[in-house]
Amino acid sequence: MRKYRIRIGLDVDDTLYECNSYAVSILNRRHPDEEPMKVEEIKSWSACGRHGEERIALYSDPEFVRTQPITEGAQEFVKKLAEIADVFFITAVPARCMSARAERLVQDFPEIPPQNIIMGTRKDIISLDIMLDDGSHNISSSRAAYPVLFRKPWNTDLSGLLSVNSYDDFLHFCEMVRNSFSENFPTLGNGGVLCLVGPSGSSKTEIANGLTCLSGFEKPLTSTTRPRRTTEGEDSYRFITEEQFVNEMKLGRYIETTVYSGYHFGTSKQDIDPIVERGNVAVIPIDICGAITLKNLYRERAMLVFTRRNRADAIKSIICRDIDIEDKTRRIMSLDFEYRNSEVCDVEINVGSDVKEAVAEIVKLIRQN
């Protein structure tokens, strides 16, 4: 266990305070004759989309900063985080808004000392143990040991980043780091969840298929908006439209959702629990965001296995896939981020040319524990 309190940095806009959604609500009031904007229309922190320049201008208005609503659960989240770590607010606001931002933070989060408020746009020079931010550009350049992306509609441009969907997932992740992963090793002998985590081209799907051919292993049906590949059967995933996925997500169908290469993926508890209750292992190829969510939910009955494959072989596999060139480019660019995710998995296996060896290694690992 670490002998010092870990240092955690928290972004502020759209991490602790509503920013883009607040701006959208203001813009809708200003333009009542237009079709209402939705926060899902915002695809980046730039002046994109309808009234982009007007939206960006709001972020430099001290009154906007002074009146931003607190995100639901943010105050309790920061209190819990302060119990296990030294927390710093890392916030980028224009100079004319700094006083308003500092006053709000001191007022709303009194357990964090004022000297732990750091303002400026150069987040890339700040060294921390863990950093939570909704800006993918900040995460990709962060010097933190564990830069964590807070998933939002506008940060789906990069895949493979260590990411979380909720405060609860982030708290669980921080506990994992703080305890140096000293919790009991997962035990799946009486049923559990096996999360196969790894970059594109690391043979996760092939390993999952190999495992589910064996007794005691089953693959729950994951929903996705990704088009079905020519090499996949109808039952490889539950292929649905983006509109259907968003509607089901709002209705609470999924226990975890993520975006990978621009497509949505979601896992339902109703698809996993029957497998676990039968004493079998639910095998799920998944990104690190979803894996952390499932680890948080199933705890010692969830095992995160990182599948590491030679980089050159992984790139060749991506290039040969039946996907468009933009998707291939995104997957290759995300490799470095994804290799870092091995540090937060329970175990790592090397995948060579024979996937059967990796399957046998995982089976042996589960039966030994």
DSSP 339-368: HHGGGGSSEEEEE-S-HHHHHHHHHHHHHH
φ/ψ of 36, rounded to 5, equals -55, 135
Residues 305 and 230 in one domain: yes
pLDDT level of residue 157 (50, 70, 90 thresholds)? low
> Are residues 112 and 240 both part of a single domain?
no
136 and 81 fall within a common domain: yes
Three-point CA angle 11, 102, 95, nearest 5°: 85
Predicted confidence at residue 181, as pLDDT, reads 47
Q: Does the pTM of the predicted model rise above 0.85?
A: no
Tens digit of each residue's pLDDT (9 = 90 or more) over 49-93? 889 999 999 999 999 999 999 999 999 999 999 998 999 999 999
Q: Say which residues have a Cβ less than 8 Å from residue 218's Cβ, sequence separation at least 6.
A: 212, 275, 280, 281, 282, 283
The pLDDT assigned to 158 comes to: 66
The total number of structural domains that make up the chain:
2
Listed residues 185, 205, 234: the one ending a domain: 185
Same structural domain for residues 248 and 343? yes
- Report which listed range, 76-80, 182-186, 221-225, is most confident: 76-80
146 and 261 fall within a common domain: no
Do 171 and 305 sit in the same domain of this protein? no
Task: Kindly tell me the number of DSSP H helices and DSSP E strands found in the chain.
Answer: 15, 15
For the cut 80, the answer to whether the pLDDT of residue 4 exceeds it is: no
Mean pLDDT of the chain: 89
Q: Is the pLDDT of residue 120 over 90?
A: no
Residue 22 sits in a domain of what CATH number? 3.40.50.1000
Bridge partners of residue 131, in order along the sequence:
9, 147
How far is residue 152's CA from residue 30's CA, in Å, rounded to a whole number?
A: 24
Task: Identify which has the larger pLDDT, 177 or 267.
Answer: 267
| Residues 153 and 258 both lie in one domain | no
For 226-253, what is each residue's pLDDT tens digit? Answer: 888 877 777 788 999 989 998 998 888 9
Q: What is the mean pLDDT of residues 167-190?
A: 80
Q: What is the pLDDT of residue 249?
A: 86
Q: What is the pLDDT of residue 2?
A: 36
pLDDT at 1: 30
Q: Are 133 and 123 in contact (CB under 8 A)?
A: yes
Read off the CATH number of the domain in which 308 is found: 3.40.50.300
For 303-337, how does the pLDDT look when each residue is reduced to its tens digit (9 = 90+)? 999 999 989 989 999 898 878 898 888 888 888 88
Q: For residue 128, what are its two tokens?
A: 């921390």
Measured between alpha carbons, how far apart are the two ends of the chain, in Å?
A: 23
User: Residues 164, 237: one domain?
Assistant: no
Of 160, 185, 210, which residue sits at a domain end?
185
For 260, phi then psi, to 5°, come to -130, 125
Domain boundary among 122, 151, 185: 185
Q: How many angstroms separate the CA atoms of 75 and 216, rounded?
A: 43
Domain that holds residue 116: 1-185
Average pLDDT (261-275) is 88
Q: Is the pLDDT of residue 182 over 70?
A: no
Contact 167, 48 (CB under 8 A): no
19 and 160 part of one domain: yes
* Each residue's pLDDT tens digit, 333-357: 888 888 888 888 889 999 988 899 9
The CA distance from 280 to 218, in Å, is 7
Same domain, 159 and 242: no
**pLDDT tens digits along 91-117:** 999 999 999 999 999 999 999 999 999
Tell whether 281 and 221 lie within a shared domain. yes
Tell me, yes or no, whether 238 and 265 share the same domain.
Answer: yes
Q: Which residues contact 170 (CB under 8 A, 6 or more apart)?
A: 77, 132, 148, 150, 164
